[in-house]
Structure 1
């Protein structure tokens, strides 16, 4: 399948999410009760719903999208590649989701969406949050009635599994395995909620998200045995 993938037809993406509110106490009573019920399946026996609320961001019903970063590879007549990157981010989820949905609607019908663990997380999370925000699902996210081979989603985690479903392999681990340089100079995923709710620093989160998109692009290039993108080939729009 990798040999058949035209990189110019791939839209690479990564999302960052946080809990709906800064603290469990700020949830309305209904959602506090619902979180208590939801979290009982994974929280420790001595852990309260409030103490594990930081995990709420990974559930579309209790979290929200704060950043979507995308990347697309273009090639000139001489074969030179450019990676164009753009981010949708901020404090108004409906606005950034709507702006992103408009981009998806303009994609060619054969465009593939690519993310790491995208089938399990990014794609369904985006779809659920769009519906919650009364945003019409773009065709590339609407899987209803489609056969598996009709869904234009590419997942680097699935590619790496080669049919083996016993293990999860993180993007960071694959980057290390394939000797892909990744900046370690700032936040990690566990710090995103704090940077968002306490520091209000969405620019910092955007930078972090774009680094993951770049790593994703480099991983696919490694999968295909192609040279990595250099800093000079990156354009942010």
Structure 2
């Protein structure tokens, strides 16, 4: 029996053995109610979906994230390759290193947050836009009252809210924390952690939006949605679409590394959805942090609603640090959710 074959070179319908790091295990059932497992696995040669049927699971140790030796055959199902496992056993880090000549690639969690500003040119669009909405009856009653009471104040309010839409706003800062996926530990192997910020450097100097986006994409170039996770608060509905929409606006050609059309987006953990157990209700990150006893990223001087004011005052270093603090809080919330909900 062949073994230790690079994943891209696996032959079809031929029994082989492999050493892999299992990064996630999903419990499923057939139409007849029999249990099976859908598994994501990887080694230094690539990633591979595994399928383990009930007859293989019976009487064996439960498959969990970690290092495993697997035997089976590569098959095709619905135009997608999968490795159907006939036998499996746990292996040590020493065995993995001996056969593959390197350490296993552990799944990583990329925790993300962005800060945005309204585009300067959007200010000229606000006045005519509000006049049109009032004339056509599209303006809500409470907004009509604000508008008729103080047109200039309402125009300024709407202008600043332009930061929440990629058609009228831009990326000011992107913060990313890279660390291990909680619960995935291998004895004898440590995971590195790092923080990154784009758009504002350590000295508080602003970068061009296009350069910040390119630098962010370079960091994410080896992100693998089959194994890694992108973590954020409301990241599915805001941060990720905003980033790629602004790439389009800046003529940066890039294929999004996440498919947001899926109901359960693969490769993403959104703490807003996590709080609601997958539901689509809304909740502020700060409120979750308070409920969990995690120190807020907000202070009296710095919070999301004050980013425009801070930017006008030239306090870019404070915005950068706030952006990084938001990521740190999100990471802590994510760790608590994984530990609590997956217990």
Output the TM-score relative to the length of structure 2. 0.55
Is 1:172–2:299 an aligned residue pair? no
Whole-angstrom CA distance in 1 between matches of 2:241 and 2:262: 16
Structure 2 residue aligned with 1:194 = 309
More displaced 10-residue stretch of structure 1: 73-82 or 120-129: 73-82
Aligned residues of 2:113 and 2:174 also touching (Cα < 8 A)? yes
> Offset of 1:72 from its aligned partner?
1.1
1:201-231 CA-to-partner distances (Å, cap 9, x unmatched) read 22211100000100011011111228xxxxx
> Offset of 1:33 from its aligned partner?
3.3
> Offset of 1:41 from its aligned partner?
4.7
Structure 1 residue aligned with 2:253 = 136
> Offset of 1:60 from its aligned partner?
0.8
Structure 2 residue aligned with 1:235 = none
Q: Secondary structure at the match of 1:174?
A: helix
Change (3 A) 1:113 1:29: same
Q: Secondary structure at the match of 2:179?
A: strand
Whole-angstrom CA distance in 2 between matches of 1:60 and 1:34: 17
Aligned residues of 2:118 and 2:161 also touching (Cα < 8 A)? yes
More displaced 10-residue stretch of structure 1: 51-60 or 11-20: 51-60
Is 1:15–2:114 an aligned residue pair? yes
Structure 1 residue aligned with 2:15 = none
Where is the strand percentage greater, Structure 1 or Structure 2?
Answer: 2
Match of 2:143 among 35, 44, 55: 44
1:75-122 CA-to-partner distances (Å, cap 9, x unmatched) read 785566653111001241111011111222222342221110111111
Runs of 4+ more than 3 Å apart: 2-8, 26-43, 74-83, 146-151, 183-186
Which ranges of structure 1 fall in alignment gaps of 5 or more residues?
Answer: 227-237
Counterparts of 1:1-237 in structure 2, within 5 Å, are 8-21=107-120, 27=122, 29=124, 33-34=128-129, 41=139, 44-45=143-144, 46-47=146-147, 48=151, 50-52=155-157, 53-74=159-180, 78=188, 83-89=193-199, 90-110=206-226, 111-141=228-258, 143=260, 147-149=262-264, 151-165=266-280, 167-185=281-299, 186-196=301-311, 198-225=312-339
Number of corresponding residues: 217
Relative CO higher for 1 or 2, CA cutoff 8 Å, sep ≥ 6? 1
Q: Secondary structure at the match of 1:14?
A: strand
Change (3 A) 1:136 1:151: farther
> Offset of 1:194 from its aligned partner?
1.4
Structure 1 residue aligned with 2:68 = none
Larger Rg: 2
Change (3 A) 1:60 1:150: closer
Whole-angstrom CA distance in 2 between matches of 1:177 and 1:11: 24
Superposed CA RMSD: 3.1
Change (3 A) 1:219 1:82: farther
Which ranges of structure 2 fall in alignment gaps of 5 or more residues?
Answer: 1-23, 27-39, 41-64, 66-105, 200-205
